[in-house]
């Protein structure tokens, strides 16, 4: 069985690698390190299909080191020891370069096993991960390695690679493969920045292309049909998930409906309805809040409707609610106020509940003044009466300061009149 096209046409030089110019462009640090021939331990961090494995192979060839590949999802400590057993042999006369893919799946003990050998220089480690290495890689390995972040490859950089793929496929098929310009762009844009996925899509299009007069024709329609199920890059447990939901909420907070709808679409395309609903509900409370209090039940109704009808129809009430949140005035006074109160509580500033607020109707022998003396606000004009509510230690503390929106200002004006004092200005 033939290897996938992405493996058959894997770049052989640094200049053939698609994207990553910030790392491999002329004069960039990683390129200078590679060209020096003295390779330190490295950690490549970034999404799949962007050249991490390819670069490790190129480094091994340039340094003439024996390349060993392990995958963190399946490799064991015994596999590491087998690699170590090759140290000093004729097979690895110039040293060993161990490429450990998905290192985040190695447990702490397995990662510790590597330390002795990468520290004494017997093995040069290049580890790759799709997750943030500072969260998943053992600190002792990080301190002995240099981390380089690989970026998602832009579609315009992938188009030439797709053209090259069709050229090679034409040679392999023994007949011309003609791809429409629109087909090239469709494949490049549909792969979500994953070059490997683009190569596989090109191969699939070639296999499915109709033949006319000995020529295989790849139309834009064929490319669309074969790439339409190509889901955007997304992992519900990985960095990409948290990046998307963060961008989703920050776009709503920033009142940008177009960006918010884009990230909503990415969540829904990945089938992540729960995250789309949860962040929307949080944003309505946290970022709109008291500037438009009615938005909370409105968004809750939209979320309930979305969960009731499910996808794909759920996109409609969610889009309505996302646009409403974006366009609504903003206030975070509710969040800021409760956070300030929590800070005091966590710092131990609590004190005893004032006697008049306690839930008891008797006094102990030690009570200097008998009676609860609670004043029922509804028995007074405007349903308010001055009395102490905060514990003694917190008297005078202000957690809530009205925002500068019309709702909070109207409430503040009302209580200024009732209480006979001017509310504090917005900070």
- Three-state DSSP string of the chain: CCCCHHHHCCCCCHHHCCCCHHHHCCCCHHHHHHHHCCCCCEEEECCCCCCHHHHHHHHHHHHCCEEEEEECCCCCHHHHHHHHCCCCCHHHCCCEEEEEECHHHCCHHHHHHHHHHHHCCCEEEEEEECCCHHHHCCHHHHCCCEEEECCCCCHHHHHHHHHHHHHHHHHHHCCCEEECHHHHHHHHHHCCCCHHHHHHHHHHHHHHCCEECCEEEECHHHHHHHHCCCCCCCCCCCHHHHHHHHHHHHHHHCCCHHHHHHHHHHHHHCCCHHHHHHHHHHHHHHHHHHHCCCHHHHHHHHHHHHHHHCCCCCHHHHHHHHHHHHHCCCCCHHHHHHHHHHHHHHCCCCCCCCHHHCCCCCCCCCCCCCCCCCCCHHHCHHHCCCCCCCCHHHCCCCCCCCCCCHHHHHHHHHHHHHHCCCCCCCC
Q: Which of 297, 285, 292 is nearest to 335 (CA)?
A: 285
In angstroms, the CA 115 to CA 108 distance is 11
The label of the residue with tokens 């996302």 reads 322
Q: What is the mean pLDDT of the chain?
A: 86
pLDDT at 18 over 60: yes
Q: CA 99, CA 32: separation in Å to the nearest integer?
A: 20
pLDDT at 288: 96
The pLDDT of residue 150 is above 50? yes
pLDDT-derived band of residue 109, with 50, 70 and 90 as boundaries? confident
pLDDT of the residue at 9: 78
Is the domain spanning 333-360+367-419 CATH 1.20.1250.20? The answer is no
Q: What is the dihedral of CA 140, 142, 143, 147, to 10 degrees?
A: 170
Count the Cβ atoms, other than its own, within 10 Å of residue 326: 22
- Pick 239-327's CATH classification: 2.40.30.10, 3.40.190.10, 1.20.200.10, 1.20.272.10: 1.20.272.10
Give pLDDT, residue 228: 61
> Tokens 């709503």 label which residue?
252
Cα angle at 165 between 58 and 205, to 5 degrees?
Answer: 140
Q: Look at residue 320 in the predicted model and tell me its pLDDT.
A: 96
Share of the chain above pLDDT 70, in %: 91
Distance CA 344, CA 33 (A): 51
Which range, of 148-162, 397-411, 413-427, averages the lowest pLDDT? 413-427
pLDDT for residue 423 is more than 50: no
In the chain, % of residues over pLDDT 90: 44
- Average pLDDT value for residue range 82-106: 86
Q: For residue 336, count other CB atoms closer than 10 A to its CB.
A: 17
Highest mean pLDDT among 52-61, 129-138, 315-324, 350-359: 315-324
Radius of gyration of the chain (CA): 31
Cα–Cα distance for residue pair 263/251, rounded to 1 Å: 9
Out of 3.30.1360.170, 1.10.8.60, 1.10.3720.10, 3.30.360.10, the CATH code matching 155-227 is 1.10.8.60
Q: Which class is 20-149 in CATH?
A: alpha beta
Return the higher-pLDDT residue of 325 and 134: 325
For 391, the token pair is: 């514990």
Q: What is the pLDDT of residue 1?
A: 46
Which residue, 203, 177, 153, 191, is CA-closest to 52? 153
- Asked if the model's pLDDT at residue 425 lies above 50, the reply is no
pLDDT tens readout for residues 207-249: 999 998 889 999 999 998 888 655 455 555 556 778 889 999 9
Instruction: Give the number of residues written for the chain.
Output: 427
Q: Does residue 227 or residue 423 have the better pLDDT?
A: 227
Confidence of residue 41 (pLDDT cuts 50, 70, 90): very high
**Which pLDDT belongs to residue 217?**
93
- Domain boundaries along the sequence of the chain: 20-149, 155-227, 239-327, 333-360+367-419
Give the pLDDT mean for 123-148. 87
Give the model's pLDDT for residue 46: 86
More confident residue, 358 or 317: 317
The pLDDT, as a whole number, for residue 424 is 46
């Amino acid at each position: 069985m033939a290897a996938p096209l992405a493996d058959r046409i894997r770049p052989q030089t640094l200049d053939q690698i698609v994207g990553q110019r910030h790392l491999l462009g002329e004069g960039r640090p990683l390129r200078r390190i590679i060209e020096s021939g003295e390779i330190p331990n490295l950690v490549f961090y970034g999404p799949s299909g962007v050249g991490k494995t390819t670069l490790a192979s190129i480094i091994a060839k340039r340094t003439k080191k024996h390349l060993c590949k392990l995958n963190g999802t399946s490799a064991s400590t015994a596999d590491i020891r087998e690699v170590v057993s090759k140290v000093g042999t004729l097979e690895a006369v110039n040293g060993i370069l161990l490429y450990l893919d998905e290192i985040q799946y190695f447990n702490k003990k397995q990662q510790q096993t590597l330390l002795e050998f990468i520290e004494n220089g017997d093995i040069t480690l290049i580890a790759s991960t799709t997750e943030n290495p500072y969260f998943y890689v053992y600190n002792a390995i990080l301190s002995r390695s240099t981390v380089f972040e690989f970026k998602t490859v832009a579609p315009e950089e992938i188009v030439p690679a797709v053209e090259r793929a069709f050229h090679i496929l034409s040679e392999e098929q023994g007949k011309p493969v003609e791809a429409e310009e629109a087909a090239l762009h469709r494949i490049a844009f549909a792969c979500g920045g994953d070059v490997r996925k683009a190569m596989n899509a090109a191969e699939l299009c070639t296999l499915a292309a109709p033949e006319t007069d000995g020529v295989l024709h790849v139309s834009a329609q064929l490319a669309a049909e074969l790439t339409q199920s190509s889901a955007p890059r997304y992992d519900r447990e990985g960095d990409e998930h948290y990046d998307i939901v963060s961008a989703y909420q920050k776009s709503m907070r920033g009142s940008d409906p177009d960006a918010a709808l884009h990230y909503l679409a990415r969540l829904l395309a990945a089938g992540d309805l729960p995250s789309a609903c949860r962040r929307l509900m949080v944003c309505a409370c946290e970022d709109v809040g008291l500037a438009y209090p009615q938005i909370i039940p409105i968004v809750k109704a939209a979320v309930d409707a979305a969960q009731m009808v499910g996808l794909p129809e759920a996109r409609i009430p969610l889009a309505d609610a996302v646009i409403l949140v974006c366009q609504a005035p903003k206030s975070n006074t509710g969040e800021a106020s409760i956070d300030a109160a929590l800070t005091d509580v966590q710092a131990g500033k609590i004190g005893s509940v004032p006697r008049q607020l306690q839930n008891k109707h008797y006094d102990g022998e030690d009570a200097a003044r008998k009676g609860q003396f609670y004043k029922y606000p509804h028995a007074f004009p405007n349903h308010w009466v001055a009395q102490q509510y905060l514990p003694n230690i917190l008297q005078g503390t202000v957690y809530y300061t009205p925002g500068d929106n019309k709702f909070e200002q109207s409430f503040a004006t009302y209580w200024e009149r009732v209480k006979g004092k001017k509310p504090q200005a917005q900070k």
